[in-house]
């Protein structure tokens, strides 16, 4: 079955540590996205990538980094510079261009807790 | 820039009652609009989408939404609520250029938590 996988489901981090969240898709989508979700604040875009080896900052990129070395993978690193990293992180993907309707498909999410 | 407002962060209905979740958007170009549903500790699932075809859009689980350009609205409805409809619902608008091409991003509303009472 095609879809988006995120791992791990739950992640615990000590303050001052960097941590990397995994996102993989087998939908052959060009674009991938990372969102942060906090209660009552909806989804906020962290980074997105529309093509391999290229990515753009979203609305809240500070303290995060990404890479896009393969079409199917878009890992997110939460660095120690992120002041309040405890949140639910969602990865998504979509088709770009042509007949795209901008529909994004989401993974199951990773809940990060800083201890 | 596009924006989305969901009126009511919490909506409570009785089982069997009408569900109405409100969404208003702001867009300088004809928009694409979406409703997603999220169950606790899960990702978002697409309920339905409007992409400039029929203004009344039918989705999964008996939900539907009507695009009203004059009111800049895209409200989500279901005639009869079921306990399994309890979840958080998000409205989103596609970020598009004046010529209709896409920036490839969505702007989400703040979400509405739907509670269904027996």
**pLDDT tens by residue, A17-67:** 999 999 999 999 999 999 999 988 889 999 999 999 999 999 999 999 999
Nearest to B102 among A100, A105, A111 (CB): A100
Per the DSSP assignment, residues forming a β-bridge with A32 are A49, A93
CB-CB under 8 Å, A106 with B32:
no
Residue in this structure with the two tokens 């596009």, named with its chain if needed: B2
- Of A3-12, A92-101, B29-38, B94-103, the poorest mean pLDDT is in B94-103
Closest CA of chain A from B115, distance in Å: 15
- Binned at pLDDT 50, 70 and 90, residue B90 comes out as very high
Counting one residue from A and one from B, how many pairs have CB atoms under 8 Å apart? 58
Residues of A in contact with B43 (CB under 8 A): 4, 6, 90, 106-109
CB-CB under 8 Å, B104 with A96:
yes
Those residues whose C-beta lies under 8 Å from the C-beta of residue A83, and which sit 6 or more positions away, are A63
Q: CB atoms < 10 A from the CB of B23, how many?
A: 24
Find the residue in A nearest to B105 (Cα): A102
User: How is chain A classified by DSSP, letter by letter?
Assistant: ---EEEE-SEEEE-TT--EEEEEEE-S--SEEEEEEE-TTS-EEEEEEEEETTEEEE-TT-TTEEE--SBTTB--EEE-TT-S---EEEEEEEE--STT-----EE---EEEEE-
* Average pLDDT along chain A: 92
Answer whether residue B45 shows pLDDT above 80.
Answer: yes
Q: Is the minimum CB–CB distance between A43 and chain B shorter than 8 Å? A: yes
Q: Is the minimum CB–CB distance between B109 and chain A shorter than 8 Å? A: yes
Q: Is the minimum CB–CB distance between B29 and chain A shorter than 8 Å? A: no
- Percent of chain B's residues with pLDDT above 90: 75
Closest CA of chain A from B43, distance in Å: 4
């Amino acid at each position: 079955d095609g879809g988006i996988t995120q791992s791990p489901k739950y992640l615990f981090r000590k303050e001052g540590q960097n941590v990397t969240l995994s996102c993989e898709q087998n939908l052959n989508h060009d674009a991938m996205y990372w969102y942060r979700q906090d209660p009552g604040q909806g989804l906020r875009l962290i980074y997105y990538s529309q093509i391999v080896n290229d990515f753009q900052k979203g609305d809240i990129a500070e303290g995060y980094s990404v890479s896009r070395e393969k079409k199917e993978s878009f890992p997110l690193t939460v660095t120690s510079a992120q002041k309040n990293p405890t949140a639910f992180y969602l990865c998504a993907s979509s088709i770009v261009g042509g007949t795209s309707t901008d529909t994004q498909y989401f993974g199951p999410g990773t809940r990060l807790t800083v201890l | 820039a596009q924006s989305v407002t969901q009126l009511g962060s919490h909506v409570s209905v009785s089982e069997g009652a009408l569900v109405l979740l409100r969404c208003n958007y702001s867009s300088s170009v004809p928009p694409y609009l979406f409703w997603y549903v999220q169950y606790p500790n899960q990702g978002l699932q697409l309920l339905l989408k409007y992409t400039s075809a029929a203004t009344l859009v039918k989705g999964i689980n008996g939900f539907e939404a009507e695009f009203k350009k004059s009111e800049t609205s895209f409200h989500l409805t279901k005639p009869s609520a079921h306990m399994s409809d309890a979840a958080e619902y998000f409205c989103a608008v596609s970020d598009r250029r004046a010529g209709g091409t896409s920036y490839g991003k969505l702007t989400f509303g703040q979400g509405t938590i739907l509670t269904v009472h027996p």
